[in-house]
Amino acid sequence: MKNIYGFTLEELENYFVEIGSKKFHGKQLFSWLYEKRIESLDSVTDIKKEVLEILRNNLSLDRLKIVDVQKDVDVNKYLFELSDGEHIEAVLMRHDYGNSICVSSQVGCNMGCKFCESGRRKKVRNLETYEMVLQILMIEKELGERISHVVVMGIGEPFDNYDNLVKFFKIINDPKGLAIGARHITVSTCGIVPKILEFSELDLQINLAISLHAPNNEIRNKIMPINKAYPLEVLIPALKTYLDRTNRRVTFEYILLSGINDREEDALELAKLAKGINCYINLIPYNETNNIDFKRSSTIQIMKFYDILKKNNVNVTIRREFGSKISAACGQLRSKKEEV
């Protein structure tokens, strides 16, 4: 049985046509699901009983299970159990501009970044579109508040699950769906170049973030295996194409790892790399995990790195930290639960 939360509006309209009913029911049902937030088809009043019966027999409205919630100042972390018993995480962060949620896109991840807990675990499977949509719907319900911003930066490599990801964007961005503005949605990738190019042709104003984490191939190869497939001389031109096509800005994420990529010469090389690209750099203090040996750079080193970028006229910020006390870093709650 297909889950109804995986249908875009267009797919739902086509579905009604396929079962010999009316296309406009698609819009009606979409609005029941996302504006009125029904959880059972019994609440639908403007579609004939016989048609609803066909839906009941063929589509499910099943939700995910929330099996753990951890709360800290301005952050809630949710552990979900999927219908096959797998686990994923989502994090809710309260900002002054609204509630933002960080969603997972896969169970595990195959990119193998050396510093990342999710990469250590390998990919089990892609998330279905409905499993991404429901992370938002269920957290909104639990909170009793709306979510205004979405970042796809949880477990998984979103561009390794591209088709389901794009459907997810269509559903949450649809004015009749969750109506989250594209400029309030960000997707983060380790740099899968063919998908960056495909994404640049997508007619949605969604923000793109790149996990850069190194100013040159030598360092990047050591910590991010994807760099061997798409080294910087391939990645950077692809980003320029993206910027030309979309007139947007790109965000570079840069985790500071002590002694690996946080030296002054790294900052200078990074400033050079950023020059001429419409970008800003988000410096991320590393969240240490029990299973991996990398160390977080000291606060002094982080400030030094930041200053060098600033002095070289790079747009740079240091990421505000949420929930390091509650294992909010990528994949840690899932690992604790499963004890691996």
Of 7, 78, 242, 286, which one interacts with ligand SAH (CB under 6 A)? 286
Q: Segment contacting ligand SAH (CB under 6 A): 6-14, 120-128, 265-273, 281-289?
A: 281-289
Of 64, 88, 92, 116, which one interacts with ligand SAH (CB under 6 A)? 116
In terms of CB distance, is 41 or 109 closer to ligand SAH?
Answer: 109
Handedness of CA 123, 331, 248, 232 (dihedral sign): negative
Of 9, 101, 153, 238, which one interacts with ligand SAH (CB under 6 A)? 153
**Strand 207-211 vs strand 185-189: parallel, antiparallel, or unpaired?**
parallel
Q: What is the CA radius of gyration of the chain?
A: 21
Residues 6+ apart with CB under 8 A from 180: 147, 148, 149, 150, 172, 173
181 SS3 class: coil
Q: Rounded distance, CA 83 to CA 10, Å? A: 26
With CA atoms as reference, report the closest residue to 128 among 9, 34, 2, 31. 2
Q: Rounded distance, CA 113 to CA 127, Å? A: 20
Q: Rounded distance, CA 79 to CA 56, Å? A: 28
Of 131, 253, 262, 266, which one interacts with ligand SAH (CB under 6 A)? 253
In terms of CB distance, is 76 or 332 closer to ligand SAH?
Answer: 332
Q: In whole angstroms, how close is the CB of 292 to ligand SAH at the nearest point? A: 7
Handedness of CA 5, 11, 17, 18 (dihedral sign): negative
The answer to whether 329 contacts ligand SAH (rule: CB under 6 A) is yes
In terms of CB distance, is 223 or 308 closer to ligand SAH?
Answer: 223
Interactions with ligand SAH, residue window 170-189 (CB under 6 A): 188-189
In terms of CB distance, is 29 or 193 closer to ligand SAH?
Answer: 193
**Per-residue binder mask for ligand SAH (CB under 6 A), 196-215, x = binder:** ---------------x----
Q: In whole angstroms, how close is the CB of 225 to ligand SAH at the nearest point? A: 12
Q: In whole angstroms, how close is the CB of 54 to ligand SAH at the nearest point? A: 39
Q: Active-site residue 330, yes or no?
A: yes
The alpha helices in 145-274, defined as continuous H runs, are: 162-173, 193-200, 217-223, 226-229, 232-246, 264-274
Residue whose token pair is 């159990």: 81
The answer to whether 257 contacts ligand SAH (rule: CB under 6 A) is no
The answer to whether 284 contacts ligand SAH (rule: CB under 6 A) is yes
Beta-ladder partners of 296: 257
Q: Rounded distance, CA 205 to CA 188, Å? A: 14
Query: Residues 113, 190, 279, 330: which is the catalytic one?
Result: 330
| Active site residue ranges | 89, 330
> What residue ranges bind ligand SAH (CB under 6 A)?
111, 113, 115-116, 153, 157, 188-190, 211, 253, 255, 284, 286-287, 289, 329-330
